[in-house]
């Protein structure tokens, strides 16, 4: 219930203040495990990526955010779970895999950090790891624009990244991540050509 209220409130903010435009929602499977992999520009990205789709979206957030009284409880109710940055956090890995094993949706930012430019950096192996350790469908996403009041922000969900060949070849997590990043870059090129 809190999640749905949060979605509604975020849609009002994102549509009314940032003129959010969403394309490609039909590419997201109606059920089963899904990993949404997106470029990362702002703390507004998780609400943008999760507010306009029907299925709840889970995502990692730095553990420091959960230490803030009230705010930690809020983001937990909105789908976040803590991750220790800069260290191998086995608890967050287990939580993420459990999300996928339950047939739910997981949001990942393969670059690991927000980009201060429009450039898409190199993805970390984590996205490939989760794709290989699950049967999840991987949906690339691209956020275009800046979160400035009354300036348009655009989000595109792309078609599923084909991974069957890499899974059969027992490819490395790095190889899988590289393919996912190629699809995010392709969405960027398509957005910028329009």
- List, in order of start, the domains of the chain with CATH numbers: 2-193 (3.40.1130.10)
Separation in Å, CA 56 to CA 14, 16, 17, 86, 154: 17, 22, 23, 27, 20
pLDDT tens by residue, the chain, 194 residues: 788 998 999 999 999 999 999 999 999 999 999 999 999 999 899 999 999 999 999 998 888 888 877 888 888 888 888 887 766 678 888 999 999 999 999 999 999 888 878 789 889 899 999 999 998 999 999 999 999 999 999 999 999 999 999 999 999 999 999 999 999 999 999 988 76
CA-closest candidate to residue 106, choices 8, 163, 172, 28: 28
Q: How far is residue 136's CA from residue 69's CA, in Å, rounded to a whole number?
A: 34
Q: Which pTM value belongs to this model?
A: 0.92
Helices (H) and strands (E) in the chain, counts: 7, 7
* Cα 151 → chain centroid: 22
């Amino acid at each position: 219930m809190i999640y749905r209220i949060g979605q509604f409130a975020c849609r009002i903010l994102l549509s009314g203040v940032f003129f959010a435009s969403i394309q490609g929602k039909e590419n997201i499977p109606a059920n089963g495990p899904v990993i949404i992999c997106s470029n990362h520009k702002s703390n507004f990205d998780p609400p943008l990526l999760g507010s306009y789709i029907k299925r709840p979206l889970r995502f990692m957030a730095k553990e420091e955010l959960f230490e803030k009284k009230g705010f930690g409880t809020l983001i937990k109710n909105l789908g976040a779970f803590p991750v220790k940055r800069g260290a191998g956090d086995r608890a967050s890995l287990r939580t993420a895999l459990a999300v996928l094993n339950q047939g739910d949706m997981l949001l990942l930012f393969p670059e690991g950090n927000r980009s201060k430019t429009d450039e898409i950096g190199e993805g970390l192996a984590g996205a490939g790891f989760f794709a290989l350790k699950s049967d999840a469908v991987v949906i690339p996403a691209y956020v275009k624009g800046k979160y400035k009041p009354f300036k348009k922000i655009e989000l595109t969900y792309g078609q599923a990244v084909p991974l069957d060949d890499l899974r059969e070849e027992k490819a490395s997590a790095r190889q899988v991540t590289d393919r996912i990043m190629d699809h995010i870059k392709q969405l960027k090129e398509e957005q910028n050509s329009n």
